[in-house]
Structure 1
Amino acid sequence: MDEFDPAPTTDTARNRWQTGADTFSRIYDVVLGTTSLTNYTELASLADCSPNAAKKHLDRLVDMGIVRRDDESRPMRYKRNEGYLEWQDASRIATELTVDEIIDRVAALEARRAEYEREFETTDPASVSVFDHDEHAAVHERMAAISDWQGVIRDIRLYELARQLSQNDGHLIPA
């Protein structure tokens, strides 16, 4: 394999997993990388384990709330639970920042959101067409702005959740 070859050989991929990661850890890592429903046999292949082992660990991750399962599909399909990832992010923010720092960050984010709302004359970034311009550069700028605006909205949600966690000793509501 060339030093810069983007596709590793199967042996290289297998060696990566043989450095001590157990089957559960491999399944966990693989499924957190999925953004769409994926057949459990495909996830097993990516994690270098048997389909039965993958399904067992995926079902455990479903029980833990880390993974979502499509109960209607055959064979079963799974994907990461975005809510779990948001909870992790908010918990990290709550431990790294003070309540005052979180409140300041939310205020700055809300100001940015208001700027986007004024610029695009709407409160919903999904309602903005990025193709209202003929120039590629203008379309690209609008796409970047809409993406950033959506990120700002997500961050406001995360920092608000982090504020609640910080103010309530790790709980969403006061005990």
Structure 2
Amino acid sequence: MPGAGYPNDSDAVAEERERWVRETSTRDRVYETAIQLYEPATAETVADRARCSEGAAREHLEWFSDRGIVEPIDGRPKRYQRNDAYFEWIRANELRRECTPSELETRLEDLVEDERAYLDRYGVDSPQQVDALEAGDYDSIETVWEDVGEWKTIRREIRILERARKDRDAFGGAGIVG
């Protein structure tokens, strides 16, 4: 509660942002901002969020684009968004290195079982087809949306585990593959 010895929330946020700017390189700030771009954003928007010049943001975004971390979207002005496939590839490689084939198989089986439960519960083929209003009464809408979010996460994890398993089979479990 402000005024009772507690800092004002906006002051605390501003102080934390200033510390971030002081202690983090421009490249790292642009990276941290870019990996949160679920919707296309201009270099100007990234620069504003990363607290740097537009030119610096554009230079780093192009560097990240060349490496597949972000995807450029042509147009005027050019926009960028994170490349989810890149981050799935990174996660698949981590799992492939960290897990035995048996562990990957067990995780995959568990997730497939979890997905089957959602398929049975909602009677549709994908989380995108769930209608929260049809699936329950007003009090359960939040629960339905939580289920939909979890179901989407399960599907993403299944994709990643399948990739890790296939890459392990194709490359014998050694090194990073692309």
**Partners of 2:16 and 2:145 in 1: how far apart?**
37
**Displacement after TM superposition at 1:12 (Å):** 4.5
- For structure 2, list consecutive stretches of 5 or more residues without a partner in the other structure: none
**Partner residue, 1:131:** 133
Query: Cα–Cα, structure 1 residues 133 and 22, in superposed 2: closer, same or farther, change >3 Å?
Result: closer
**Displacement after TM superposition at 1:84 (Å):** 1.1
Please identify which structure carries the higher helix content. Answer: 2
Q: Does residue 65 of structure 1 match 2:71?
A: no
**Partners of 2:153 and 2:92 in 1: how far apart?**
14
Q: TM-score, normalised by structure 2?
A: 0.84
**Partner residue, 1:100:** 102
**Displacement after TM superposition at 1:22 (Å):** 2.3
| Equivalent position to 2:19, from 15, 22, 33 | 15
**Partner residue, 1:148:** 150
**Partners of 1:12 and 1:148 in 2: how far apart?**
31
Check whether the contact 1:30–1:46 (CA below 8 A) recurs between aligned residues: yes
Check whether the contact 1:106–1:156 (CA below 8 A) recurs between aligned residues: yes
Greater shift in the superposed pair: 135-144 or 41-50: 135-144
**Partners of 1:63 and 1:107 in 2: how far apart?**
36
Alignment-mate amino acid for residue 69 of structure 2: I
- For structure 1, list consecutive stretches of 5 or more residues without a partner in the other structure: none
Alignment-mate amino acid for residue 59 of structure 1: E
**Partner residue, 1:40:** 43
**Partner residue, 2:167:** 165
Check whether the contact 1:113–1:149 (CA below 8 A) recurs between aligned residues: yes
Check whether the contact 1:102–1:159 (CA below 8 A) recurs between aligned residues: yes
**Displacement after TM superposition at 1:51 (Å):** 0.8
Identity rate, percent:
25
Alignment-mate amino acid for residue 160 of structure 1: E
RMSD of aligned residue pairs (Cα, Å): 2.1
Q: TM-score, normalised by structure 1?
A: 0.86
Secondary structure at the residue paired with 1:79? strand
